[in-house]
Every structure is written in C-alpha cells, then in structure tokens.
C-alpha cells in the first residue's frame, strides 16, 4: 500500500492555491511580454512604408555607384549616419554600429579619387564610446589625407550627432534642423513597482556594493548616483573639449549653451555651432569648393541600402519606441532623449 499519498484535504488545497498563484503570475508576465512585442511590431509598419522612399532628395549632382564614379573622375563621397549610434549593431537590429561607420569613413576618404567627404547626419546621438570612435576616426583620417569633411544635418543632428560633426571642417543645416543637446545622460529605469506586481524578485549575489549599479529591480542609492554623476561630468568635459576645439569657441563661453538645450538651425548659426544654412546640394557644393572640384561635383554613394543601413534608416524614422527602452544594459550616452 502506497503511504506517500496525501490524504489531508487541507494540505491539498494549500498546494493548489500556491500553484494557482504561480500560474497567475506567469500568465501576467507572459501577457505583458506579448503585448510589448505586438506593440513594437506594429510600430515598424509605418517605418517600412517610409523607408521605401529615398532619404536623399534629388540634387543637381549626378549620383552613381561607387564603381562607376571611381572610373570616371574625382568625386565627393557621401556617407550616411542615420539613427541611434551604438558600438555593436549585432545586439539589436535597429542599432547602427559605429565600427561600420568608421570603416566606411576610412575606406572612402583614403581612396585617391575622393577629394572631400560629406557626412549626411540624421541622428540624435548614441553611446559615448560609439560616438567617440567615429569622432576620433574623422580626426585621424583628416590628418592623414588632408581632405575636407563637411557635415550635413537632416531633421535631427543632436548630442552625439553634433559631437561627430564637431570633427568636420564645416557644418551645413536646414533652418529647422534640431541640433545642440550638448551633454551626457545615463538612463536608468526603476521597475521595482512593476516587478512586485507581477511577482518578480531580484536577489543579486555580488562581489561589491556597486556591482549591480543601475539595476532596474531597485532604486539607486545616493552614493550610487554620486558615482554616476562623476562619470557623466567626465564624459561631458570630453564633449565640451570636442566642440570648443572644432568650433573655435572658448570652453567657458560654451558652457552657457551646453546645458542640454536644443536649437533650430537658425539658432545654431547665431550661436556659432554651424557654418551655413542650406540643403544637401549646398553641402555638396561647399565640399566641391573646399576640395577644388567646384560646384556640382561628382558624387559617390551607394545606390541601394545594405541590410545594416536599411534597419538603421528604419530606426531613424521611429520615435514611438525610444532606443533606451530596447537596450538591455544602461550606458553613458551622448543622446537627445527627446528622440
């Protein structure tokens, strides 16, 4: 006779209650995950429609494939920098890898037929490390090749987008371009209340008290906030140095407007943050003049999107789902949070 059979009705009811609670908690968690996935999927639909159109307006300059243009004559290279910029594009299909952008800059600028480079920037910025990688690449390539770099701003070129442009010789923007946002942010979400509602409890086992700094499962301590603030000020100082050197603005004077505020292109021109108001063609003409090619220069750019550029362009159009909500790990960012 099996003596392990539970004959106590009270114990059986208690076990059933625990199981039912666990099932309910799991169901809630699954519901929110499914709802988030569906919402994100629907947010991509308008982006796929928009991306079917070219991001470049038609210009007077004849645009050809890289191979065709290089066979004919000296040209101006156009390199797009779209969307939120991060170090590694493999972690999310909407991220733009800084390594790929830096590689394109080196490859195009070092070609003997390329006499100038136009960076077509439509970005709110990105992680500090990724932005600094592109910035330093531009400075190195400029020193090696002695070729002029022109930054052309689209709808948005703020924070890290502007940081990158500070390495260029000239900056051209539309009157209504959103730019500026000189500063640093470390976005941390506190989901402690939500976790409690769905029955999730985090119990980290760590080697030091700061090891789980930035955890979403709890509120940060004052000591942790001070530590992060010191990191932010350090990265902020690097931003100030880049703009001060690139735009020839005294650092102390720059601090008056480097408080994270955004500018229109008109306001940025008055503040000395850009050189000229104009469109894509104006940027090309300026590049032609500085390189000795004259106005309406030959242009080198890809006719078609690579998959990486395709998804990056989608990202540049999406403002429904902020990039910080996708990233699994918080990071220091030169990014305009309004995007």
DSSP character string of 51-91:
TTS-SSPP-SSPEE-HHHHHHH--EEEEEEEES-EES-TTS
Terminal CA-CA length for the chain: 70
**Is-catalytic flag, 159?**
yes
Of the candidates 211, 251, 253, 303, the residue annotated as catalytic is 211
- Burial class from Cβ neighbours inside 10 Å (0-12, 13-18, 19+) for residue 127 reads buried
**Is-catalytic flag, 211?**
yes
Is the sign of the CA dihedral 247, 249, 252, 256 positive or negative? Answer: negative
- The residues, any chain, with a CB within 8 Å of residue 160's CB and separated by 6 or more, are 85, 123, 124, 125, 126, 127, 128, 130, 131, 333, 334, 335
Of the candidates 75, 159, 291, 312, the residue annotated as catalytic is 159
SS3 248: coil
**Could you list the active site residues?**
159, 211
């Amino acid at each position: 006779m099996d003596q392990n059979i539970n004959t106590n009705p009270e114990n059986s009811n208690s076990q059933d209650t625990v199981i039912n609670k666990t099932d309910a908690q799991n169901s809630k968690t699954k519901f929110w995950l499914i709802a988030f996935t569906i919402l994100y999927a629907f947010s991509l639909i308008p982006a796929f429609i928009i991306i079917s159109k070219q991001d470049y307006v038609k210009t007077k300059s004849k645009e050809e494939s890289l191979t065709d243009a290089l066979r004919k004559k000296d040209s101006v290279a156009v390199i797009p920098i779209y969307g939120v910029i991060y170090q590694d594009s493999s972690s999310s299909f909407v991220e733009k890898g800084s390594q790929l952008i830096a590689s394109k800059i080196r490859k195009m600028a070092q070609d003997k037929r390329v006499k100038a480079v136009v960076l077509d920037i439509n970005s709110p910025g990105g992680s500090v490390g990724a932005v600094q990688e592109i910035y330093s690449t531009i400075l190195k390539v400029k020193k090696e090749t002695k070729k002029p770099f022109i930054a052309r701003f689209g709808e948005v070129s703020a924070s890290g987008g502007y940081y990158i442009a500070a390495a260029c010789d000239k900056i051209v923007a539309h009157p209504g371009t959103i730019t500026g946002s000189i500063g640093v942010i470390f976005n941390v979400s506190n989901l402690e209340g939500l976790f409690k509602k769905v029955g999730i409890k985090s119990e980290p086992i760590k080697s030091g008290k700061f090891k789980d700094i930035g955890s979403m499962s709890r509120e940060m301590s004052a000591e942790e906030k001070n530590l992060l603030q010191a990191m932010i000020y350090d990265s902020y100082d690097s931003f100030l140095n880049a703009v001060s050197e690139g735009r020839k603005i005294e650092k102390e004077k720059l601090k008056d407007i480097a408080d994270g505020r955004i500018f229109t292109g008109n306001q940025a021109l008055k503040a000395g943050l850009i050189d000229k108001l104009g469109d894509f063609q104006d940027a090309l003409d300026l590049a032609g003049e500085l390189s000795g090619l004259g106005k309406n220069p030959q242009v080198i750019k890809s006719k078609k999107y690579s998959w990486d550029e395709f998804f990056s362009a989608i990202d540049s159009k999406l403002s429904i789902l902020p990039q910080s909500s996708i990233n699994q790990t918080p990071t220091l960012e030169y990014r305009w949070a309004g995007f």
